[in-house]
Amino acid sequence: MFHKEGHQIIMTSFVIAAAIALAAEYRLGDQYVLKIVLQLFSLIQLILVLQFFRNPKRETPKNENHLIAPVDGKVVIIQEVFEKEYFKDQRLQVSIFMSPLNVHVTRYTMSGTVKFSKYHPGKYLVAWHPKSSELNERTTIVLNNETFGEVLYRQIAGAVARRIVNYAEVGGSVVQGEDAGFIKFGSRVDLFLPLGTPLDVALNDTVKGGVQILAHKA
């Protein structure tokens, strides 16, 4: 199953791969090695695109006392920081880095109401760069519910990413684990939680979006 945001890119990649393979077959004649190299290249690029846009079905164990991981990836930051865009106070930041091999679907970490949603154009620093959360292309979304209050998550584009898709609309109601968007080709997601929120993950843990518990209510 592939994410809808990848359908056009997948079709284009398929056409390109087929064109390269056919051109190599009929135009290179007895240049066997070069022909095979080009055909393998076309197949590999198609496989890479397919794996990037995969969208595995996940059953979220919905629980109002849990925050779930919004994406697949590696926990690269856990620290108290001053969040200056929305809260303008100290928050607990948890950042998850996604490599190009990870599933790049963003899922809602909790059910609730969308209080804030804003897109920021920007640069394309590598996603682990300390300034990427302030300078890169990104979206900032704030969800609110009775259990956790307001929780902010930020989709951050990486060095390769060139488009962030965000489905959260201010005033809308969202459901934990459902599709919240997509980041195309490399990225990071930061979450900003109330101070003192008990975490169920540690630095350098690998998490699975939509199913793994990230934090819980004390």
User: Where in the sequence numbering do the catalytic residues fall?
Assistant: 187
Closest CA to 186 of 102, 96, 70: 102
- Count CB atoms within 10 A of the CB of residue 10: 16
Task: Read off the tokens for 50.
Answer: 């397919």
**CB crowding 149-165: b at 16 or more within 10 Å, else e:** ebbbbbbbbbbebeebb
Task: Answer yes or no: are the C-beta atoms of 83 and 93 closer than 8 Å.
Answer: yes
Whether 106 contacts 155, CB under 8 Å: yes
First-to-last alpha carbon distance for the chain, in angstroms, is 37
Block residue for tokens 């609309």: 169
Beta bridge partners of 107: 179
